[in-house]
Amino acid sequence: MSTAQPNDGAPLLDVTDLVKHFPVKRGILIDREVGQVRAVDGVSFRVERGETLGLVGESGSGKSTVCRAVVRLIEATSGSIKFEGREIAGLGRRQMRPLRRQMQMIFQDPYASLNPRKRVGQIVGEPLKRQGVASGSELRRQVQELLERVGLSSEHFYRYPHEFSGGQRQRIGIARAISLRPKLVICDEPVSALDVSIQAQIVNLLDDLQDEFGLAYLFVAHDIGVVRHISDRVAVMHEGKIVEQGSVDQVCERPQDEYTKKLLAAVPIPDPRQSRERVRNR
Amino acid sequence: MSARALLSVRDLRVGFTTEDGLLQAVDGVSFDLRPGEVLAIVGESGSGKSVTAQTMIGLTRARNSRIEGSVELAGEELMSAGDAKMRQLRGERIAMVFQDPMTSFNPVYRIGAQIVEAIRAHRPETSKAEGRARAVELLGAVGIPDPERRVDAYPHEFSGGMRQRAMIAMALALEPEVLIADEPTTALDVTIQAQILRLLEQLNRERNLATILITHDLGVVAEIADRVLVMYAGKVVEQGTLDEIFYDPQHPYTWGLLGSLTRLDQPRPKRLPQIAGSPPSLLDLPQGCPFRPRCPHEFSKCPQYPPLEARLPDAPGHCDRCWLTPEEKGEKRVVAGRIGLEAPNA
């Protein structure tokens, strides 16, 4: 177990100067490093308890790399990642394990992030079992409760992922992520693969769960409309750097950075008269 | 009466026999497309929008498919045309751009060579040099910088947006009259999406190209469509002009689609209006209106499916499939929230 006590005054997640460079290699027998992709290039942000930080950017901006580095799926090149005041950037697998209870992830692709050969009950119950929280009939009861909480039915326990639609699969992924009652959930494009009408359902569900369990979200998306809806604060990423960060109102209503302005201006407005207006002013 | 229809679809029905029975993917779709017009077909996955488009160019012909109805291109029936005839029509008169620019090109051939191949397949008399010159010209026309050099690039050397531009260039190679764009911007970033929409708009204007845009994104629709068809479970549930659909939507499903959008131009609502449930299985449709199980306004008439007809006295082209009277719709739409947009300064 950890020796350092969590510091209650510290932000839940405090990332400072995070860098991730991927080497570019050439050569047949002997790999030579010929360059580096600076996927994340000095990124700093905080997530406070119970709040949502939206991280928005286009493909290749480095936002997914940030997520993966924070949950330690990949190793950062340098920088500090503090969870409740404790440095986790260099921790080993073993030392990370108790922290995984506090920090969970929801993935973009609801088709790829669930093991097709496992039943829903096993998928959602896996973290509870692994962490030794529950087993046997108690595990089943808890999983069924979770399934109902995310809008599925307790009878879905014995079904396989392929029997569900995209939106339902994302609910399964959410049930798995909240099963350990984490403090932080990292959502990597959780709605971008879904139909618009289903997106609204999932966004509302995430909102409800946040209120109920006091979750904090690091919500990563390329759709600034969704980010604006769900976030308390927003950080805009471009080419590995955060170009602008602030409250939703600051960033979305009074953007300062040129790239943020460009991003906001590119979002289609579902109102024909306003669209025509924009065409005239172009 | 406006210009004559270039493409005329009547009662198109496409079914697939599956192990679990007949799956009616498209169930009686009719519409007209005029030269220079952009028609958007909107719906969720499984609504039949892509199957409708693919059937028009003969891509759903298969042993297990059943296709009925009529598709006429400038008076010529396509549904009874042979495969050789369809092959000739595709590209030459109707071209299609697909969603995924990553998989639509063959990765082992150069972009230019693939465009030349498309041209020479239809115009064998074209020399390779002529074909190449044409490819350069097309790539330039869709806004690819330095086309003389980029014509020799491989698909992986292009970004997603560039590949979609190249895809559009290839679609335009034989100067078709109709362009079908199936979710052309869904895989792209918003800033690139805006560029591709500008390009489609420009082509539509300059070449009088009739365009069918298939999308689930009403934001995209608002940017470039002239008319809109809303599809649900294989049927058209509402059709009208762009303004009719956005400012006076008649079908509760359309309200749901409009309501569930996040909008940058409006204050954030506490909760997003959502459509409950998920689309029905096409193998197990409810009796009557297929939207019934998800519709908050369901009443005693709904177990019968209403025909698609104009229900507003002053909008003969605005049709929908809902039993509610226009007055009831007006009231229920207001209760439902932000639906039925207030036009700015109107």
- pLDDT (tens digit, 9 = 90+) per residue, A45-54? 999 999 999 9
> Nearest CA of chain B to the CA of A231: how many Å?
11
Q: Is residue B270 part of a domain?
A: yes
Better-scored residue on pLDDT, B89 or A59:
B89
State the Cα–Cα distance between residues B326 and B324, nearest whole angstrom: 6
Interface of B with A in 83-142 (CB under 8 A): none
Closest C-alpha among B320, B272, B214, B10 to residue A223: B272
pLDDT of residue A8: 65
Taking the Cβ of residue B2 and every Cβ of chain A, the question of whether any pair is shorter than 8 Å is answered with no
- Residue B19 within any structural domain of the chain: yes
Query: What pLDDT does B181 receive?
Result: 94
Contact B274 A275 (CB under 8 A): no
Contacts of B191 in chain A (CB under 8 A): 58, 262-263, 266
For A178-210, the pLDDT digits (tens) are 999 999 999 999 998 888 888 999 999 999 999
Only one residue has tokens 């049927």, namely B235
Query: B122 Cβ partners below 8 Å, 6+ apart?
Result: B88, B91, B92, B174
In this structure, the answer to whether residues B91 and B167 fall within a common structural domain is: yes
Q: Residue A159 pLDDT more than 90?
A: yes
Domain end, chosen from B225, B244, B267, is at B225
Instruction: Please write down the HEC assignment for all residues of B203-221.
Output: HHHHCCCEEEEEECCHHHH
Q: Given a cut of 80, is residue A108 above it in pLDDT? A: yes
Taking one residue from A and the other from B, the number of pairs with CB-CB distance under 8 angstroms is: 120
**Span A100-109, average pLDDT:** 91
User: Following DSSP, what letter does each residue of B140-162 receive, concatenated?
Assistant: HHTT-SSHHHHTT--GGGS-HHH
CA dihedral (A40, A46, A52, A58) in degrees, to 10, reads -20
Asked if residue B342 belongs to a domain, the reply is no
**Same domain for B162 and B126:** yes
Q: Last residue of a domain, which of B173, B201, B225?
A: B225
Q: Which long-range contacts (CB under 8 A, 24 or more apart) does B330-335 make?
A: B332/B252, B332/B297, B333/B249, B333/B255
- What is the predicted pLDDT for the residue at B339? 47
Same domain, B203 and B242: no
Kindly report the CATH number assigned to the domain that includes residue B221. 3.40.50.300
Q: Tell whether B340 is covered by a domain.
A: no
Q: What are phi and psi of A129, to 5 degrees?
A: -70, -50
Domain count of chain B?
Answer: 2
Residue % of chain A over a pLDDT of 70: 97
Q: Which domain holds residue B25?
A: 7-225
Single residue among B189, B210, B225 that ends a domain in this structure = B225
Residues B218 and B234 in one domain: no
Q: In this structure, is residue B1 part of a structural domain?
A: no
> Does residue A121 have a pLDDT over 50?
yes
Phi/psi for A85 (5° steps) reads 85, -5
Question: Measured between CA atoms, how close is B191 to chain A, in angstroms?
Answer: 5
**What pairs with residue B67 in β-bridges?**
B14
Gap between the Cα atoms of B96 and B162, Å rounded: 17
Give the residue numbers in A contacting B (CB under 8 Å), as ranges: 58-59, 165-168, 195-201, 203-204, 207, 222-226, 228-229, 248, 252, 262-275, 277
User: Which residue from A minimizes the CA distance to B246?
Assistant: A271
Is the predicted pLDDT of residue A6 greater than 90, yes or no?
no
Question: B145 and B240 share a domain?
Answer: no
Q: Other CB atoms closer than 10 Å to residue A263's CB: what's the count? A: 25
pLDDT, residue B14, reads 97
Do both B240 and B160 map to the same domain? no
Residue B172: inside a domain, yes or no?
yes
Q: How many CB atoms lie within 10 A of CB B35?
A: 17
pLDDT tens digits for range A249-258: 999 999 999 9
In angstroms, the CA B97 to CA A126 distance is 43
Question: Quick one: pLDDT at residue B125?
Answer: 95
Rounded CA-CA distance B226/B208 in Å is: 13
Check CB contact under 8 Å for A270 and B263: yes
Please check the confidence at residue A146 and state whether its pLDDT lies above 60: yes
DSSP state, A194? Answer: S
* Tally of CA atoms within 13 A in the half-sphere of A200 that contains its CB: 20
Question: Which has the closest alpha carbon to A124: A106, A109, A99, A108?
Answer: A106
**Same domain membership, residue B195 and residue B61:** yes
CA distance B128 to chain A (A): 35
Structure-token pair, residue B78 = 């396509």
What is the C-alpha to C-alpha distance for residues B179 and B322, in angstroms, rounded to an integer? 31
Residue A170 has pLDDT above 90, yes or no: yes
> Do residues B198 and B278 share a domain?
no
For B120-135, what is each residue's pLDDT tens digit?
999 999 999 999 999 9
- What pLDDT was estimated at residue A195? 84
Counting as low any pLDDT under 50, the low residues of chain B are 1-2, 337-346
Whether B2 is in a domain gets the answer: no
Interface touch B264/A58, C-beta < 8 Å: no
Asked if B344's CB is within 8 angstroms of A271's CB, the reply is yes
| b/e burial code for range B238-256 (CB count within 10 A of at least 16 → b) | bbbbbbbbbbbbbbbbbbb
CA distance A179 to A147: 10
**B67/B202 same-domain check:** yes
Q: What is the pLDDT of residue A9?
A: 79
Of B256, B258, B264, which has the smallest distance from its Cβ to A252's Cβ? B264
Residue B310 within a domain: yes
DSSP H or E run through B84? helix B83-92
Residues of A in contact with B261 (CB under 8 A): 196, 225, 270
Which residue would you say has higher pLDDT here, A27 or B52? B52
Closest chain B CA to residue A278: B223
C-beta atoms surrounding B210 within 10 Å: 22
- Whether residues B172 and B221 share a domain: the answer is yes
**And the tokens for B13?**
């029905």
Q: How confident is the model at residue A282 (pLDDT cuts 50, 70, 90)?
A: low
Tokens 């798995």 belong to residue:
A176
Whether B11 and B87 map to the same domain: the answer is yes
How far apart CA B220 and CA B249 sit, in angstroms, is 17
Between A12 and B267, residue with greater pLDDT: A12
SS3 A97: helix
Our CA-based measurement puts residue B252 at a distance from the nearest CA of chain A, in whole angstroms, of 13
The pLDDT of residue A276 is 83
Provide the 8-state DSSP code for A28.
Answer: S
User: Is B207 in the same domain as B244?
Assistant: no
Q: How far apart are CA A32 and CA A47, in angstroms?
A: 39
